[in-house]
Structure 1
Amino acid sequence: MCHIIKAASTYISTGITGRDNNKTDVPELFDLYAMAHSAPYKKAKAFSESDIDDPKNFTNRASHNKLMRYRDEGKARKGPDFNPSQPIDPELVMISGGGRYHGLLAIGDGLIRCTSTLPQIKRRQTSSDLEIRPHPWPMDLEIKVSYTESDTFPPLHYVCGRR
């Protein structure tokens, strides 16, 4: 939680937005979370949705994955016009993060509260709704990325002789 507060205070103190009328608007929680996990808090800068596409913009793969999943789930469930920078939807955070882990939702570092549990959300879903994917563990993300970026481990179809 302190990462988000530090990013917000740095962002506000530098006055990045609202220069026309000397009023600084506070970014939405999605943007603050992205800013807090993309650089040290003293280097916080305005976050744009295009920044989310490159995992190298983030301090760790887990944060990048959480933001990507929130954005992708939002577009899949609410349509292609979904804007993740609008006010956070706690149930969507619950769905995209696979529930609560250690009592916290995936995004927001403890600042978001959702009154529903994941089983309650699943019960309300119909058969036409998208399936809720399980939470990816950080180690699984690291293994997946290291395997796909590795020169040592060729793709499986080359090893097996299939193309």
Structure 2
Amino acid sequence: VGASGVYYRIAEVSNMKATGLTYVLVEFWATKADFDAAKPVLLTEEFMMQLRPTGQRIVTNADGWLKKVGGTFIDPDTLDQAQPSPKWVRETVTRDVPAEIEANIAAYWDHAKAANLTGDHTSDATKPLYKDGNLVPQKLTTPLVERDTADPHKILERADVKALEGKGFKKAVQA
């Protein structure tokens, strides 16, 4: 199986007014050469992502054993699912938000490629979307996503997220 690729650019990262979700607008080209030659965008998609700068996880040791309140570490393979779960010691960790954004984009591209989507897959029903070359009817009553630069979850202010906007990425995909 040969490898092909896609080139995408994150055109916008902002906040969805109504929900506080992170809005990410992405443009896709078949190749970097198409992008460099300023060829038309193959596909445009908007993502609404529930991203947070930190998360919680159970404390583990070097062997991957889970730490109970009280300090004892337990091998997760020995846990009995029929028994109540122990009380765990948890820690706050910084999440890799750019990696989460890129993973969402990669998962979408795999779906879009399989469905042979082209055109505009955003909430703007006035722009055409095609599947296998056929126009896909879109709901004209779907409201456009209103967005702003509010940052309720402190995602937009992160330097690693700011660095994504306008940046192009090549993703290898299996043909």
- TM-score w.r.t. the length of structure 2 is 0.24
Structure with greater proportional strand content: 2
Structure with greater proportional helix content: 1
- TM-score w.r.t. the length of structure 1 is 0.25
